[in-house]
């Protein structure tokens, strides 16, 4: 059940309690802290997903996110919150990332994305990893063309050779043709083995 926000400036205590109760019903992820950047990022993505459901104000987003912090993360927020009164959600994320997802770790994830190759993975698994790591390097996938080029560059040679001649411009087209090429390469290999046995 959605609770409509009251008039600007009016925040009775019962509204805050109702807001928190409704937020808790959504079962938000809890973050305990620690040097686990991927868990920190998963927490942020989970919280932001809930923020898409309800039109919270900036202050409410910070308040509700802080409500889900436990243990070390809670102690960290209690230390920094006085210096960050009336902070926006964007600023909260900056402070949070400085602590739990520092730039050096972010840079490592960008490097992993740049070096990501299909290898022995299926195209589906490669695509899942590509999507997972792409969020750390948005500048490398900010257009469909760049995204397609980056994805194509990590494909295995037999598949890449088949789709390179097509000059595909979009990510969806590259993914689609890569799946077809993979099937064709597998069929060709199977036919070759069958003929060899004959």
Residue 3 confidence (pLDDT): 53
Residue 21 confidence (pLDDT): 81
Residue burial 96-119, b: 16+ Cβ < 10 Å; e: rest: bbebbbeeebeeebbeebeebebe
Q: Give the model confidence (pLDDT) of 133-148 as tens digits.
A: 898 898 999 999 999 9
Mean pLDDT of 66-93: 92
Own/partner long-range contacts of 2-7 (Cβ < 8 Å, ≥24 apart): 2/54, 3/54, 5/55, 5/57
Q: Return mean pLDDT, the chain.
A: 84
Closest CA to 141 of 98, 110, 101, 179: 110
Residue 124 confidence (pLDDT): 92
Task: Read off the pTM.
Answer: 0.61
Of the chain, the percentage scoring pLDDT greater than 90 comes to: 42
User: To the nearest 10°, the Cα dihedral for 8, 16, 82, 95?
Assistant: -90
Integer Cα distance of 134 and 31 in angstroms: 23
Question: Which residue is associated with the tokens 């990501």?
Answer: 116
At 53, list the tokens. 């459901």
Q: Give the model confidence (pLDDT) of 26-66 as tens digits.
A: 888 899 998 888 889 899 999 999 888 877 889 899 999 99
- The larger pLDDT score, comparing residue 155 to residue 164, is at 155
**CB-based contact 83:52 (threshold 8 Å):** no
Residue 91 confidence (pLDDT): 93
Identify the band that residue 96 occupies on the pLDDT scale cut at 50, 70 and 90.
Answer: very high
Residue burial 37-73, b: 16+ Cβ < 10 Å; e: rest: bebbbebbebbeebbeebebeeebbbbbbeebbeeeb
């Amino acid at each position: 059940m959605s609770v409509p926000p009251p008039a600007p400036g009016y925040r009775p205590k019962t509204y805050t309690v109702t807001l928190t109760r409704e937020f808790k019903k959504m079962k938000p992820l809890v973050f305990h802290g620690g040097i686990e950047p991927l868990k920190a990022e998963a927490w942020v993505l989970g919280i932001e997903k809930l923020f898409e459901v309800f039109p919270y104000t900036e202050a409410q987003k910070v308040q509700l996110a802080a409500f889900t912090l436990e243990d070390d993360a809670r102690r960290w927020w209690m230390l920094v919150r006085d210096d960050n009164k009336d902070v926006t959600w964007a600023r909260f994320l900056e402070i949070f990332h400085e602590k739990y997802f520092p730039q050096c770790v972010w840079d490592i994830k960008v490097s992993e994305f740049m070096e990501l190759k299909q290898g022995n993975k299926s195209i589906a698994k490669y695509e899942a990893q590509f999507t997972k790591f792409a969020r750390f390097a948005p500048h490398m996938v900010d257009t469909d063309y760049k995204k397609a080029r980056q994805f194509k560059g990590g494909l295995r040679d037999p598949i890449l050779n088949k789709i390179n001649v097509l000059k595909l411009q979009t990510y969806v087209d590259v993914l689609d043709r890569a799946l077809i090429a993979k099937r064709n390469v597998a069929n060709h290999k199977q036919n070759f083995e069958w003929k060899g046995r004959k």
